[in-house]
Chains A and B, each alone.
Chain A
Amino acid sequence: MSNTQCHGAGRLPLLLGLPASIGILFLLLPLGGLIIRAPWAEAAEVLTSRSAISALRLSIITATVAASITVILGVPLAWLLARPALPGVAVLRALITVPLVLPPVVGGVALFTLLGRSGLLGGPLYSLTGFSLPFTPYAVVLAQVFVALPYLVLAVEGALRAADRRYEDAAATLGATPLAVFRRVTLPLVAPGIAAGTVLAWARALGEFGATITFAGNFPGTTRTMPLEVYLALETNPDAALLLSILLLATSVAVLALLRDRWTSRW
């Protein structure tokens, strides 16, 4: 595809190259600063501390569960949004992207009002079972799903719209049921989009902070994910916070690189 666009073998027009380079620098230089400023002498002690390991473990588990839930809920939702016949779909799409613009802390408060122990759903649950969601790892996952779901939905919806609808029509005329068409034709067609959306959602869940600290609280081993650990470390030991941030970054980059190689070769 690049051959048809770019005749001068690798020559990038300055008009594109310059802003692209500035963009790269803008994104990467702060990370460089993080790495340069980090107190590497303390690295071994900080990074192998119990609290760091338990926070990282909780982060990876919750983000992975949250990303799985976003796939289960988000792919059908994206399929619904991509159907042109659905009335009011534009409004629905706008509503679904609300968590993208909502400050995550507000998202956490919103989750409280619904799922807290005096919330609309959480209230009856609490009076029936005595169980309340806040301050549990479930709350962490819910907060992450809330903020990450729109990313997956938008990515998959884009892929669905770009996919050639005629394959689905052909399958349908050959007698496939709608579910079979979705499973055997649509899903394979948009698999790269689903992969990209899952990665986005996972990364967003891993970095989730505001909704988590509001809705799930902050307790080591139960709800204190890596971003919360970093935030708390900033209070007393900013150097440790730098190291912890780098650990979180390195973990996510490593996971994404690994996945990209074995799972998303079609990007």
Chain B
Amino acid sequence: MTRPHLRRSISAHKAKDLPGSDHMWPDVSARHHRPTTVIGFAAAAGLLLLAACGSSTPSRSSTSGDVVTVAAAASLAEAFTAIGKDFEAKDPGSKVIFSFGSSATLASQITQGAPVDVFAAASPATMKTVTQSRAAGPPTDFVANTLEIAVPKGNPGKITGLKDFADKSKKIAICAPQVPCGAAAIKVFATAKVVPAPDTLEQDVKATLQKVESNEVDAALVYQTDVLAAGDMVAGIDFPEAQQAINVYPIATLKAAKNPALAQRFVDYVLSADGQAILNEAGFDKP
């Protein structure tokens, strides 16, 4: 937002790009001519480098007021990446950094103090763990996602509907009941009165989808957005009971956000017609 902030943010990013280039800091060191200061800044640049290489966890050390860090459910990866690009174009000077992963993992990172400004979860239950710890403001539901049967290209298991999930001779993958897509799966099986015979209970929806993509299972229950994102390798089969377990995704700004105004602008953009259009294209429904 303010000029000095922007300058710092830019030079920090340059330092990341050019290892060991302490001369990238002329605007700061020019004011302090003592060599120790220069060494100090070189060390700081080194630390930034370390932080940049260290881990996939979003790091605040290189960010400033104009960067918004968004933790989002894995199923949002494609759509949010596109939204982030649009947002950066329409909000000049801003930069969006994403951390995609299992909602529950992200939620526990946030309650442990991960430097995140916006959280988009794949289920109200995981969002609740964050709002309960008073880390986030009130959430808004922004999309809905429906389960769909995913089969490998050519449907080798000749799957026709949900009842095939009870067939022990077929290889079946569903999400573990502990994660949102697994909880939704339990609901649809209960509605359809089918007792599934899964061969694996996967940790998250992308891992479940991967088993279909690699043709190791005959069928899996994933979100319709995942079937769409998987492209040609995977075909989807709709089933009526899916309507009983529509999964709603909430989004919220976090109280610890460094730049609450920018975080709110990002959330507003996701909720805007432009943001919703991108999400809709990725297969998400209105909440």
Contacts and interface: CB of A to CB of B under 8 A. Distances in A.
B70 to A, nearest CB: 21
Given A117-B215, A118-B214, A219 B108 contact: no
A231 B207 CA distance: 14
Nearest to B179: A235
Interface in B82-130: 102, 104-105, 108
B203 interface: yes
A59 B97 CA distance: 38
Given A132-B171, A232-B178, A219 B199 contact: yes
Interface in A129-172: 132, 134-135
A104 to B, nearest CB: 14
Interface string A227-261: 00001101110100000000000000000000000
Nearest to A231: B203
A218 B216 contact: no
A223 interface: yes
A7 to B, nearest CB: 41
B214 A218 contact: no
Given A217-B202, A219-B198, A236 B104 contact: yes
Given A135-B199, A235-B105, A217 B211 contact: yes
Contacts of B203: 213, 218, 231-232, 235
Contacts of B105: 234-235
Interface string B183-214: 00000000000000011111100010011001
B173 interface: yes
Interface string A188-226: 000000000000000000000000011001111011100
Given A135-B171, A217-B173, A235 B216 contact: no
A109 B211 CA distance: 10
A11 B152 CA distance: 66
Contacts of B178: 232, 235-236
A116, A117, A223: most-surrounded residue (chain B CB, <10 A): A117
Contacts of B201: 217-220, 224
B51 interface: no
B176 interface: yes
Contacts of B202: 217-218
Nearest to B129: A236
A218 B200 contact: yes
A117 B216 contact: yes
Contacts of A224: 201
B104 A116 contact: no
B216 A116 contact: yes
B215 A219 contact: no
Given A217-B199, A219-B201, A134 B108 contact: no
B210 to A, nearest CB: 8
A112 B214 CA distance: 8
Nearest to A216: B200
Contacts of B200: 135, 217-219, 223
A217 B176 CA distance: 11
A31 to B, nearest CB: 19
A117 B216 CA distance: 6
B232 to A, nearest CB: 15
Nearest to A236: B178
Contacts of B211: 217
B104 A118 contact: no
Interface in B148-189: 171, 173, 176, 178-179
Contacts of A135: 171, 199-200, 216-217
Given A135-B199, A218-B202, A118 B215 contact: yes
Interface in A93-137: 109, 112, 116-118, 132, 134-135
24 contacts: A112-B216, A116-B214, A116-B216, A117-B171, A117-B215, A118-B214, A135-B171, A135-B200, A135-B217, A214-B210, A217-B201, A217-B202, A218-B201, A218-B203, A219-B198, A219-B201, A222-B199, A223-B200, A234-B105, A235-B104, A235-B105, A236-B104, A236-B178, A238-B108
Interface of B: 102, 104-105, 108, 171, 173, 176, 178-179, 198-203, 207, 210-211, 214-217
Given A217-B201, A235-B176, A238-B108, 12 more contacts: A116-B215, A118-B215, A118-B216, A135-B199, A213-B203, A218-B200, A222-B199, A223-B200, A231-B203, A232-B176, A235-B104, A235-B105
